[in-house]
Amino acid sequence: MLTNNDKITIPQTVALLITTILATGILALPRNVANAAGSDGWLLVLLAGVISYFSSLIVGALVKRFPGDTFIEYSQKVLGKFPGYILGFILILYFIFVSAMSVRVFSEVMNAFMLINTPRGFIIITMLLSSVYLIRHGIEPIARIGEILLPILIIPIFAMYLTALPRADFSELLPFFDTPVKDLAISTIHTAYNFLGFEILLMIGPYMRSPERVMWTLLFSIGFITLTYLFIVVIVFASIGVEDSRILLWPAMSIIRTIMAPGGVFERLDALALALWTIASFTTINGMYYSGTLAAAHLMGAREFKFFVTIFFPWVYLFSIIPGNPLDTMRWTQISGMAGIVIAIIIPAIILVISIVAKKGGKTS
Amino acid sequence: MTDVFSRLRSGKKRDLYYERDMSPDTSKKLKKDIKENEKEVHEYLYDCDDVITRDFYMGTTQKHEMALMYIDGLVDKNLVQEEILKSLMLMTRQAPLEHNLGQNFFNMVKEGLLTAADIKEVDNFGEVVLGILSGDTILFMDKFEKALIISTRGWEKRGVQEPTTEAVIRGPREGFTETYRVNIALIRRRLKDPNLKVKTIKLGRHTRTDVGVLFIQGIASPNIVDEVLKRLNTIDVSGVLESGYIEQMIEGDWLSFFPQLRRTERPDVVAACLMEGNVAIVTDNTPFVLLAPGTFLSLFQSPEDYYERWYIASMIRLLRFAAAFFAMTFPALYIAMTAFHPGMLPTDLVLSIAATREGVPFSAVVEAIVMVISLEVLREAGVRLPGPIGQTIGIVGGLVVGEAAVRAGIVSPIMVIVVAVNAISSFAIPNYSVAIGFRLLTFIFIFLATVAGLYGIMLGLLLLTIHLVTLKSFGAHYLSPFVSFRFSEGKDFVVRGPMPSMEIRPGYTRPKDMNRMNDRRHDTTEKMEDENADKQ
């Protein structure tokens, strides 16, 4: 149906997933887990990672069950024309909303740490325009950008936080297993928001060159993300303590401000850190925005998706300026996280169950 | 317009001259009568005073009328005298020919009398005229509807010299010259392989430049060879004076800052690239040879990377990448740091920068732009002026004016350092035209840094990455092997791996034969007994 027949390889899919999942949410992660479980925060990250992996397998199963189809097509096949159409519309809305929230959070971080006087609209619009420029080239360049930016993103993040190691006091992580199991269970769901992003597979699944290896792709991506989160949470807790992590809005960013770069060339590493968050946000916006436009193109049966890239631009911008202040933004990202759980886990699960019961899709049909 | 001119002109011959299509016509066949042939050629080459006609006859009893035509200065006169005139006029007198050879006479001359090496038989005016213009000598014989093209090309030319734009410490000193045949020979000397193919086509309506497409059959991907030939054949211009014409006509994205074909002056680079599956485009009249497909990495490669040991080569290549980065962003980084984020620099450094900026009337941005532009002017002036004066300009401009400007308080000394580092970094990039491209990007980055500080620079780098990712050259990703990275290719990447480990050719050209080496295990461990073994 779509003229764009580009396929992406497994390493490219892994890179695309990791860079899409990894976003500025990482900066607030230590605060969220510290508030939820205190010194057991790291355990929360681990649990959330495991749960996210098993939930993402539902999406993976759908990709394998309906090769060559996106969510738009198989939801209509399984649930019927009209309900599928409604679900597709919700999916588009979700992707636009998540792109808007990602760019908004990025602009909040920028305004807080780097460009204090720069208007928010400038940051949001320039960021979105760069994204539009890339997305118009299609899936393959997006995946290749992910491939290039992944090492540029990951290696400095680890290097940067490792410089905090000499001052780290790992006794801050004690006591272990102090939190009631019930609290842990609830907080795990909230922490799982940070692992959202794998739902882009609902749209880009059929563009994978070898969709039969989707489970490994997910295991590798989410496993990698879990380790990265774990590393950052442990370093933050160990260097500024659980109590301080609760107070600061973006604790992972704040400890970077306290790091003195070895050799003393730079007073602080903010510059590097913010360059990295720019990359992280950019790739997240790309993944979400592209999935949204792709969903729209499939839903309308359009031959070209580029048209929708332009059409969605003002809407993403409008959604991104809904929250009034940083705290408001935090609330909206919680809402988008809840919506994400529904879109990425619950709806795919329903479709999967119905398709198995009704014997639709799979190799037989 | 044509009417006005033709009315102004008088005389029948002139009208004929201006109205006739002067492009050589291969369908027009030669005639029997030698005088008519001569006349016809003269009509093509009317008003071309450098065309020489030499009428003579051969034999003593039975006279055979003959004529030579060539262009003065394009032929080697010695060759014409010794190998053609002498053998036809003098030698035949010593041993007179048999009578009544009839039709065999032509072959007798061609195969038995002429001692010139390179001879071709033609039967139409198109090839005759082109031959004369290319520096060959045409031999007409009376009563024959064909002629001989004798290769006597020999003109004043520059010898093989050391390439000026790609100098190396270790490596051959030979560079290409302006002569097509010499250049092909320089490549052939390095690749004594029957699979090295040379396909020559002529480009340019007026220049009829020889353009050779070289590739190694069995390595080069046929798709790339076909694509190169296809794109070359679509070129229809009045002239091709330098390979730059071809480069700009066949590259995919002419809006890009980056050249999509690699150009080199060195035969060893061409040989190496041919062995990696590239296709070379050799153009007559220029020492610059094009290589397709070009990649981003190739802009940072120098032949020395492969001649030196791999630690040195890798370190230097890393330095070049860093230099390219600074050539683009150094002034921008300075502006962003001082104007937007002074808190990120160590306090002492910020204070000393502020102290040096004391009394400077302009903002850092204005200062940077003025300094970068004046440096560009200095560079351009230094290139255009003859050698010794160029150096003087460099010293006067760089040292004297720079020092005076600092003392006068117009620019801060730190800005001089920033701009100098920026310029020197750009000269560390082996490819001059690319270095200029990076310097142009400097201005864009200065603008971005002025508007949005480090975020602007980051945005610029992202946009640049997007552009490079979407760029392709003859089907190869411009950024390979940065994208679709494979470990085996990683040995010739940001670092250059040890030579014995480079078993595989780079994949971006999709070579038909991936293996560079047959024997993958090179056993070079020292097994020879050392000198002390004897003493035991």
Q: Provide the residue ranges of all domains of chain A, joining segments of one domain with +.
A: 10-357
Q: Are residues B254 and B336 in the same domain?
A: no
3-class SS of residue A322 = coil
Task: Tell me, yes or no, if A273 comes closer than 8 A to chain B by beta carbon.
Answer: no
Grade residue B485 by pLDDT with cuts at 50, 70 and 90.
Answer: low
Backbone angles phi, psi at B88, to 5 degrees: -80, -40
Of B477, B499, B524, which marks where a domain is finished? B477
In a domain, B300, yes or no: no
Length of chain B: 536
A306: left (phi over 0), alpha (psi -120 to 50) or beta: alpha
Task: Tell me, yes or no, if A255 comes closer than 8 A to chain B by beta carbon.
Answer: no
- Considering only the beta carbons, identify the residue of A264, A268, A275 that sits closest to B454: A275
Residue reference for tokens 């370190």: B315
Give the Å distances, CA to CA, from A185 to A189, A243, B288. Answer: 7, 22, 69
In a domain, B356, yes or no: yes
Of B256, B272, B294, which marks where a domain is finished? B294
CA of B275, closest CA in chain A: separation in Å? 27
CA of B467, closest CA in chain A: separation in Å? 8
Structure confidence by residue, pLDDT tens digits, A349-358: 999 999 888 8
C-beta of residue B152 within 8 angstroms of C-beta of residue B135 = yes
Residue reference for tokens 């034969």: B513
C-beta of residue A148 within 8 angstroms of C-beta of residue B479 = yes
User: What 8-state DSSP symbol labels residue B30?
Assistant: -
Q: Are residues B193 and B241 in the same domain?
A: yes
Structure confidence by residue, pLDDT tens digits, B264-313: 999 999 999 999 889 999 999 999 999 988 888 888 888 888 898 889 88
Residues of B in contact with A114 (CB under 8 A): 340-341, 453-455
From chain B residues 428-467, the ones with a CB under 8 A of any chain A CB are 452-455, 458-459, 462-463, 465-466
A147 contacts B485? CB cut-off 8 A: yes
Question: What pLDDT, on a 0 to 100 scale, did the predictor assign at position B10?
Answer: 47
Q: Are residues B422 and B342 in the same domain?
A: yes
| CA-closest candidate to residue B402, choices B381, B421, B385, B419 | B419
Backbone angles phi, psi at B56, to 5 degrees: -155, 170
Query: How large is the ipTM?
Result: 0.89
B453 contacts A130? CB cut-off 8 A: no
| CA-closest candidate to residue A317, choices A125, A173, A150 | A125
* Site from A9, A107, A134, A144 to mutate, B interface, most B CB atoms within 10 angstroms: A144
A115 contacts B453? CB cut-off 8 A: yes
Q: Are residues B280 and B362 in the same domain?
A: no
Which tokens sit at A13?
């899919």
Residue reference for tokens 């071309």: B48
Task: Tell me, yes or no, if A216 comes closer than 8 A to chain B by beta carbon.
Answer: no
Which tokens sit at B61?
């009893």
Q: Are residues B241 and B349 in the same domain?
A: no
In a domain, B5, yes or no: no
Of B237, B267, B294, which marks where a domain is finished? B294
Task: Tell me, yes or no, if A274 comes closer than 8 A to chain B by beta carbon.
Answer: yes
**CA A184 to chain CA mean position, Å:** 22
User: What 8-state DSSP symbol labels residue B382?
Assistant: H
* A33 pLDDT above the threshold of 80: yes
DSSP codes, B412-433: -HHHHHHHHHHHHHHHTSS-HH
**Using CA atoms, how far apart are residues B265 and A33, in angstroms rounded to an integer?**
61
Is B7 exposed, middle or buried, given 0-12, 13-18 or 19+ CB atoms closer than 10 A? Answer: exposed
3-class SS of residue B284 = coil
Which CATH number applies to A10-357?
Answer: 1.20.1740.10
What residue numbers bound the domain in which B93 lies?
Answer: 18-150
Question: What pLDDT, on a 0 to 100 scale, did the predictor assign at position B272?
Answer: 92
* Site from B470, B471, B493 to mutate, A interface, most A CB atoms within 10 angstroms: B470
Q: Are residues B128 and B45 in the same domain?
A: yes
Identify the bridge partners of residue B140 per DSSP, sorted by sequence position. B67, B147
**CA A341 to chain CA mean position, Å:** 12
In a domain, B536, yes or no: no
B482 contacts A148? CB cut-off 8 A: yes
* Site from A13, A122, A134, A269 to mutate, B interface, most B CB atoms within 10 angstroms: A134
Q: Are residues B316 and B461 in the same domain?
A: yes
Q: pLDDT > 90: what percent of chain A?
A: 30
Residues of A in contact with B343 (CB under 8 A): 267-268, 270
Backbone angles phi, psi at A19, to 5 degrees: -70, -30
B454 contacts A147? CB cut-off 8 A: no
Domain count, chain B: 3
* Site from B351, B447, B454 to mutate, A interface, most A CB atoms within 10 angstroms: B454
Q: Are residues B129 and B212 in the same domain?
A: no
Q: What is chain A's mean pLDDT, rounded? A: 86
In a domain, B533, yes or no: no
Q: Are residues B99 and B56 in the same domain?
A: yes
In a domain, B284, yes or no: yes
Counting runs of H as helices and runs of E as strands, what totals does chain A give?
Answer: 15, 0
- Considering only the beta carbons, identify the residue of B343, B455, B483 that sits closest to A148: B483
- Which stretches within B195-262 are classed as H helix? 222-234, 243-250
Structure confidence by residue, pLDDT tens digits, B355-401: 888 888 888 889 899 888 988 888 888 878 877 777 777 777 777 88
Give the Å distances, CA to CA, from A245 to A28, A183, A184, A235, B438. Answer: 9, 19, 18, 11, 43
Q: Are residues B286 and B313 in the same domain?
A: no
Residues A4, A289, A59, CA angle at the centre, nearest 5°? 80
In a domain, B494, yes or no: no
Q: pLDDT > 70: what percent of chain B?
A: 88
Which residues in A351-361 are b (16+ Cβ under 10 Å) and which e?
A: bbeebeeeebb
